[in-house]
């Protein structure tokens, strides 16, 4: 272990040496750019772009780009990048993670690689964890980029597609991980290229990268439409679980151990204790369910199962037909035992269940737990149980961010998760040194036997430090616990601010002033707060607050604090003068206050318990000691805390009993602190394993999604699919023939009347007059029959297209009809496929009982289901094209799809006005018309703000004006989708394993070709093998 640490440490030092040398080269250029006028400095953007156009690389122009942007930052913001910030910028440009402590200016660091990479014209996305930070950074740092002639956009919820498209077209785009991910999904539900908002996913810088790529890795983004009505079963099951009683698995185990221990002793006292414990164990045997703290799961016992059978009137709760009921009971038990109000969620005033982010303490508006859990919580809280949803599109952050050509990130805490970043994202973590040495003192953990003893100690610590004016930041892990500490402080007359999910609107104000003399602030987790705590207070914030109180509006305040080389109006100049006056006043005030705060010991961090993740603890600690300021951090732990309970709290508690310590006595021990840290490592390791396993499953759908979206995009870009449609015809003919006659027999045995009738009803267009005769059947073999029928169908289909063109005077492009029908079929079948894959995944874990690896089974069956879906796409598309009829257009009625401007079609419900569910067009209709469907937007696991209406078999086949075509003779849609199951697995070598062809095995014509080309057998080696 020592050797490995030495090697890794050496590698890290080598990285820092290289970054240091590169940063020095940037600083050497400072005099050159300082000497330039504003106009000369701005012109450097054009100069650098010209150098790229002549063949230089980004690395070649990096030093000049960084030096120019650094000077621009000084002129615009009066902020110049420190040496270590330049190192961080280079690290980000290289596609790595820069670990920089709180207060080291990560927001400013991102401007360097963003400017450099934006010079390519391909765009840069800077991702933040919330809308406030996205807007703030776009406005704040955007001033520098705009000074240098680049465009800056921001993407936040509530924008329409036109606004988003304009934002994404900018050189640098700020946005949240949620909004960028949803826009990707929405784009892949659009039915035309102009309606799409995103462009190529080029370079991405993720702020708080550990929060997004680790903490939220398993959270899927889901766009959903209305599914079935919410079942009354949720409410019935909720009533049932309220009649049950259960307990924790580890409590039972501890009781059993104590009974065994007592039996070894013979004293009277031990016998009485043994009898009591036996009674406790007997009571536990009557439990209806058992809760597993470590796994966060609830299991119904046999007794609980018996009660369920009696309550719901079923014979066996474990039977497959009762699987849905069983699932509802499990989710209801989880809702009652594992999800706590004001801890995991809150209930809003209008009766909505709002999830609380466990890592940031913020409300996650629009997000819903999946798999019926959210409905179970709604039933538990007696609020309206909302409809269940049907997924239309989904992607995880793991897979979305891996779509970027280059990915980088920054955070204050990434080193503890370095293995995961390397394994899943191929990202190295580099610890960037601090600008000034850290002077914060981190005390050993203060460990108490009970929660009550711990709380009293925390209050005493706060009272003592507050008396000397030291600012204190108290970190809690839940909303409920933050309010509990608040109650204790009020009892002791200590004025304080509280920051949690219930009052997050005042976040910036509370955090900005948490460093003032005598300030006491309680916060639920400090990840991604985005605001530095300045000792003595933040003069800029105080000046802006005063201006708002004096009646200046937001825009005028921004003018007042902005850099601009232009003439200002009288009103603007008044605002600028007032801001300068206020800033000077508050700066003097906060500087004087800072001296007092430093004398009091700087910011004091008090952690009220350890979080499951060491990173969250480190984020809290990191709020003190920024830029060389003094500070302290202390964590208080109780052996009754959840973390201690889950990992050996009872064993540690025995030490208290040995030393006969009461609950108000503190025990400081490196061994105990290590035990807590080891518990955290165990949880982190288990969570990493879960995320890694989840990714193996997700990779299957990810490859399928990329394939479908890729093929769909080609069609949207105007690729002529006519040749594909012609290649679908023989497959469809063969399918209908197989369904109608016994193809094992020779054609002479077939019933020509039955076959003619089936082909006429299912295949032949109106133009087809071909009739199969007895003589033909006696003359044909199977292949000849399929070939001849297909030839006649193709001929009549081409005739149909000519007739439509003639009847509409060439104003309707039937090739666009083909594109629209293909897209419609793909979308409808893909939605059903997502649902089918989800059902497969829910049940695949049972394969482990059959000695099968569930992941391998999922890959194999997922591949088979994907192949079947592609076949359905082809079949449904060609059948509608062959049998569709032109709707007669009345005289004077505008022809949708004609080559002239047409009004915008009305959108389906839940869609923005410029992304209707299907394009307006000329229409054809099958014999049985079905009503088109609309669906409202229903958020699912994550915010689904613009759900696509669920495509249904529709009564029209849209046609649009002619579009440029490409690759007219390419293979049919789906012919290159026949990926073998092993291709869905991540391949670290990058090499494709050769496919061994088994000539003995009979290969069907529609099976993937065994040569490994990815084509169907009949489109590849069939004819060569059957010469």
141: Cα separation from own chain's centroid: 25
* Residue 902, in any domain of the structure: no
Most trustworthy range by pLDDT among 594-603, 658-667, 881-890: 594-603
Q: At residue 255, does pLDDT exceed 90?
A: no
* Residue 632, in any domain of the structure: yes
Q: How many residues does the chain have?
A: 1027
Q: Do residues 851 and 733 both lie within one domain? A: no
Q: What is the DSSP string of 572-637?
A: HHHHHHHHHHHHHHHHHHHHHHHHHHHHTTSEEEEESS--SSHHHHHHHHTTSSGGG-EEEEEEEE
Range in 27-31, 497-501, 514-518 with the lowest mean pLDDT: 497-501
Q: At residue 2, does pLDDT exceed 50?
A: no
d(CA 937, CA 909): 7
* Residue 967, in any domain of the structure: no
Q: At residue 633, does pLDDT exceed 90?
A: yes
Specify the pLDDT at position 463.
95
Q: Do residues 204 and 286 both lie within one domain? A: no
d(CA 773, CA 900): 47
Q: Do residues 385 and 451 both lie within one domain? A: no
Q: Tell me: the pLDDT tens digits for 554-587?
A: 888 888 887 666 688 889 899 999 999 999 999 9
Q: Average of pLDDT values for 466-476?
A: 94
Tell me the residue range of the domain where 775 lies.
Answer: 720-809
Instruction: Please compute Rg for the chain using Cα positions.
Output: 34
Q: Do residues 736 and 789 both lie within one domain? A: yes
Q: Do residues 775 and 831 both lie within one domain? A: no
Q: Do residues 530 and 543 both lie within one domain? A: no
Q: Average of pLDDT values for 453-459?
A: 94
* CATH number of 829's domain: 1.10.3060.10
* Residue 749, in any domain of the structure: yes
Q: Give residues with Cβ within 8 angstroms of 640, minimum separation 6.
A: 449, 450, 451, 649
d(CA 945, CA 967): 36
Strand partners, 734: none
Alpha-carbon distances of 326 from 368, 629, 949, rounded to whole Å: 21, 57, 31
Q: Locate the DSSP E strands across 383-533.
A: 389-396, 406-411, 429-431, 439-442, 446-448, 472-476, 497-499, 520-524
Strand partners, 474: 522, 606
Q: At residue 925, does pLDDT exceed 90?
A: no
Specify the pLDDT at position 11.
63
Q: At residue 452, does pLDDT exceed 60?
A: yes
Q: Tell me: the pLDDT tens digits for 863-889?
A: 999 999 999 999 999 999 998 875 544
Specify the pLDDT at position 359.
62
| Pairing assessment for the beta strands 97-99 and 406-411 based on DSSP bridges | parallel
Q: Tell me: the pLDDT tens digits for 238-250?
A: 999 999 988 877 6
Specify the pLDDT at position 895.
43
Q: Give residues with Cβ within 8 angstroms of 646, minimum separation 6.
A: 250, 293, 294, 679, 683
CA nearest neighbour of 511 among 943, 136, 127 = 136
* Residue 689, in any domain of the structure: no
Counting the structural domains of the chain, the total is 7
* Residue 296, in any domain of the structure: yes
Which of residues 62 and 844 earns the better pLDDT score? 62
Specify the pLDDT at position 913.
31
pTM: predicted TM-score of the whole model, two decimal places: 0.73
863: Cα separation from own chain's centroid: 24
Which of residues 483 and 73 earns the better pLDDT score? 73
Q: Is 751 strand, coil or helix?
A: coil
Which of residues 909 and 281 earns the better pLDDT score? 281
Specify the pLDDT at position 370.
75
Q: Do residues 192 and 59 both lie within one domain? A: yes
Helix (H) or strand (E) holding 386: none
Q: At residue 910, does pLDDT exceed 50?
A: no
Specify the pLDDT at position 790.
95
What is the rounded (10 degree) CA torsion for 16, 18, 19, 24?
A: 120
Helix (H) or strand (E) holding 332: helix 323-337
d(CA 629, CA 690): 39
* CATH number of 612's domain: 3.40.50.300
Q: Do residues 57 and 141 both lie within one domain? A: yes
Q: Tell me: the pLDDT tens digits for 173-227?
A: 999 999 999 999 999 999 889 999 999 999 999 998 988 998 888 778 888 776 6
CA nearest neighbour of 412 among 208, 259, 211 = 208
pLDDT band of 694, cuts 50, 70, 90: confident
Mean pLDDT of the chain: 80
Percent of the chain past pLDDT 70, that is, above it, reads 76
* Residue 680, in any domain of the structure: no
CA nearest neighbour of 728 among 868, 874, 867, 873 = 874
194: tokens are 């102009």
Q: What is the DSSP string of 124-181?
A: EEEEESSHHHHHHHHHHTHHHHHHTT--EEEE-TT--HHHHHHHHTSSEEEEEHHHHH
Q: Average of pLDDT values for 614-626?
A: 85
Specify the pLDDT at position 980.
37
Specify the pLDDT at position 968.
35
Q: Average of pLDDT values for 423-438?
A: 91
Range in 105-114, 388-397, 668-677 with the lowest mean pLDDT: 668-677
Q: Average of pLDDT values for 420-435?
A: 91
Q: Give residues with Cβ within 8 angstroms of 832, minimum separation 6.
A: 869
d(CA 905, CA 982): 44
Q: At what angle do helices 854-883 and 722-740 cross, to 10 degrees?
A: 100
Q: Give residues with Cβ within 8 angstroms of 857, minimum separation 6.
A: 844, 847
Q: Do residues 91 and 176 both lie within one domain? A: yes
Q: Do residues 788 and 820 both lie within one domain? A: no
Q: At what angle do helices 814-844 and 722-740 cross, to 10 degrees?
A: 60
d(CA 154, CA 174): 5
Q: Do residues 384 and 261 both lie within one domain? A: yes
Specify the pLDDT at position 332.
93
Specify the pLDDT at position 160.
93
Taking the CA of residue 906 as centre, how many other CA atoms within 13 Å lie in the half-sphere pointing to its CB? Answer: 4
d(CA 370, CA 706): 23
* CATH number of 291's domain: 3.90.1440.10
Most trustworthy range by pLDDT among 273-282, 820-829, 888-897: 820-829
Name the binding residues. Answer: 85, 103-107, 532
Q: Do residues 425 and 306 both lie within one domain? A: no
Q: Average of pLDDT values for 307-318?
A: 88
Show which of 809, 844, 876 is a domain's final residue.
809
Range in 178-187, 227-236, 369-378 with the lowest mean pLDDT: 227-236
Show which of 651, 668, 685 is a domain's final residue.
668
Specify the pLDDT at position 342.
84
* Residue 154, in any domain of the structure: yes
Name the binding residues for ATP. Answer: 85, 103-107, 532
Q: At residue 960, does pLDDT exceed 90?
A: no
Which of residues 529 and 163 earns the better pLDDT score? 163
Show which of 753, 781, 809 is a domain's final residue.
809
Cβ(73)–Cβ(143) under 8 Å?
A: no
pLDDT band of 896, cuts 50, 70, 90: very low
Q: At residue 432, does pLDDT exceed 70?
A: yes
């Amino acid at each position: 272990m020592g050797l490995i640490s030495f090697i890794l440490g050496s590698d890290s030092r080598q990285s820092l040496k290289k970054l240091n040398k590169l940063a020095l080269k940037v600083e050497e250029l400072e005099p050159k750019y300082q000497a330039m006028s504003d106009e000369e400095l701005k012109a450097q953007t054009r100069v650098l772009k010209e150098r790229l156009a002549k063949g230089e690389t980004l690395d070649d122009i990096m030093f000049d780009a960084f030096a120019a942007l650094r000077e621009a930052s000084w002129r615009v913001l009066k902020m110049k990048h420190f040496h270590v910030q330049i190192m961080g910028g280079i690290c980000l440009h290289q596609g790595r993670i820069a670990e920089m402590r709180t207060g080291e200016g990560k927001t400013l660091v991102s401007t360097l690689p963003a400017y450099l990479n934006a010079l390519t014209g391909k765009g840069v996305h800077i991702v933040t964890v919330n809308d406030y930070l996205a807007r703030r950074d776009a406005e704040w740092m955007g001033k520098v980029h705009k000074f240098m002639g680049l465009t800056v956009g921001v993407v936040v919820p509530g924008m329409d597609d036109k606004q988003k498209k304009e934002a994404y077209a900018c050189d640098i785009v700020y946005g949240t991980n949620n909004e960028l991910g949803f826009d990707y999904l929405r784009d892949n539900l659009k039915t035309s290229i102009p309606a799409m908002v995103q462009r190529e996913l080029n370079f991405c810088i993720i702020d708080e990268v550990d929060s997004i790529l680790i903490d939220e890795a398993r959270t899927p983004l889901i766009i959903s439409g209305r599914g079935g009505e919410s079942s009354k079963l949720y409410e019935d099951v909720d009533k049932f679980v309220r009649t049950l009683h259960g307990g924790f698995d580890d409590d039972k185990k501890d009781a059993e151990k104590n009974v065994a221990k007592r039996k070894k002793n013979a004293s009277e006292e031990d016998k009485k204790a043994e009898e009591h414990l036996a009674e406790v164990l007997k009571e536990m045997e009557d439990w209806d369910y058992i809760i597993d703290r470590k796994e966060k799961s609830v299991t119904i016992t046999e007794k609980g199962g018996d009660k369920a059978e009696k309550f719901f009137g079923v014979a066996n709760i474990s039977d497959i037909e009762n699987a849905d009921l069983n699932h509802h009971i499990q989710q209801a038990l989880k809702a009652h035992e594992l999800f706590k109000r004001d801890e995991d969620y809150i209930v809003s005033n209008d009766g909505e269940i709002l999830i609380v982010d466990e890592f940031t303490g913020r409300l996650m508006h629009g997000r819903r737990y999946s798999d019926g859990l959210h409905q179970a919580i709604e039933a538990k809280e007696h609020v309206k149980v909302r409809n269940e949803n049907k997924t239309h599109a989904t992607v995880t952050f793991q897979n979305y961010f891996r779509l970027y050509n280059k990915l980088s990130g920054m955070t204050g805490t990434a080193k503890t998760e370095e293995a995961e970043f390397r394994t899943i994202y191929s990202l190295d973590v580099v610890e960037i040194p601090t600008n000034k040495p850290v002077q914060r003192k981190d005390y050993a953990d203060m460990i108490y036997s009970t929660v009550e003893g711990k709380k009293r100690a925390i209050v005493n610590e706060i009272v003592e430090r507050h008396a000397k004016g030291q600012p204190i930041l108290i970190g809690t892990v839940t909303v409920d616990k933050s309010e509990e500490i608040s109650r204790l402080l009020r009892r002791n007359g200590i004025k304080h601010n509280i920051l949690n999910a219930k009052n997050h609107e005042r976040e910036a104000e509370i955090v900005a002033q948490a460093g003032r003399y005598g300030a006491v602030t309680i916060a639920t987790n400090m990840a991604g707060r985005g605001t530095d705590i300045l000792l003595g207070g933040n003069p800029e914030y105080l000046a802006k607050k005063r201006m708002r109180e004096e009646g200046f509006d937001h825009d005028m305040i921004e003018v007042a604090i902005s850099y601009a080389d232009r003439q200002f109006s009288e009103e603007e100049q008044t605002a600028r003068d007032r801001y300068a006056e206020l800033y000077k006043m508050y700066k003097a005030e906060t500087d004087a206050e800072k001296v007092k705060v430093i004398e009091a010991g700087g910011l004091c961090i008090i952690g009220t318990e350890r979080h499951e993740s060491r990173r969250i603890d480190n984020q809290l600690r990191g709020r003190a000691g920024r830029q060389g300021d003094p500070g302290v951090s202390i964590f208080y732990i109780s052996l009754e805390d959840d973390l201690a309970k889950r990992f050996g709290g009872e064993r540690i508690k025995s030490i208290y009993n040995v030393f006969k310590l009461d609950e108000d006595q503190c025990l400081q021990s490196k061994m105990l602190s290590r035990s807590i840290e080891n518990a955290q490592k165990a949880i982190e390791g288990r969570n990493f394993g879960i995320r890694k396993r989840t990714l193996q499953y997700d990779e299957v759908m990810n490859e399928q999604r990329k394939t479908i979206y890729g093929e769909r995009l080609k069609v949207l870009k105007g690729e002529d699919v006519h040749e594909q449609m012609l290649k679908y015809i023989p497959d469809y003919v063969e399918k209908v023939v197989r369904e109608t006659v016994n193809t094992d027999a020779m054609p002479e045995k077939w019933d020509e009347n039955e076959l003619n009738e089936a082909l006429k009803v299912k295949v032949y267009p109106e133009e087809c007059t071909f009739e199969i005769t007895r003589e033909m059947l006696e003359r044909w073999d199977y292949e000849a029959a399929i070939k001849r029928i297909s030839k006649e169908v193709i001929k009549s289909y081409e005739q149909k297209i000519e007739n439509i063109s003639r009847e509409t005077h060439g104003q309707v492009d039937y090739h666009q009809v083909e594109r629209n029908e293909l897209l419609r079929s793909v979308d409808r079948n893909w939605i059903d496929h997502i649902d089918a894959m989800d059902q497969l995944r829910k049940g695949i874990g049972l394969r482990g009982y059959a000695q099968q690896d569930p992941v391998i089974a999922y890959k194999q069956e997922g591949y088979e289901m994907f192949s079947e879906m592609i076949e359905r796409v082809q079949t449904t598309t060609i059948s509608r094209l062959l049998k569709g009829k032109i709707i007669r257009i009345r005289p004077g009625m505008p022809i949708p799809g004609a080559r002239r401007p047409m009004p915008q079609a009305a959108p389906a419900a839940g869609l923005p006005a410029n992304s209707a569910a299907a394009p307006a067009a000329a229409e054809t209709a099958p014999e049985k018309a079905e009503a088109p469907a609309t669906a409202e937007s229903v958020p699912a696991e994550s915010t689904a703000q613009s759900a696509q209406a669920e495509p249904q078999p529709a009564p029209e086949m849209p046609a649009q004006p002619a579009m440029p075509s490409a690759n007219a003779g390419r293979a049919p849609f789906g012919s290159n989708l026949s990926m073998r199951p092993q291709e869905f697995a991540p391949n670290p070598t990058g090499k494709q394993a050769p496919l061994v062809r088994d000539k003995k095995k009979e290969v069907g014509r529609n099976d993937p070709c065994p040569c490994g080309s990815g084509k169907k057998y009949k489109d590849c080696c069939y004819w060569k093998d059957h010469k």
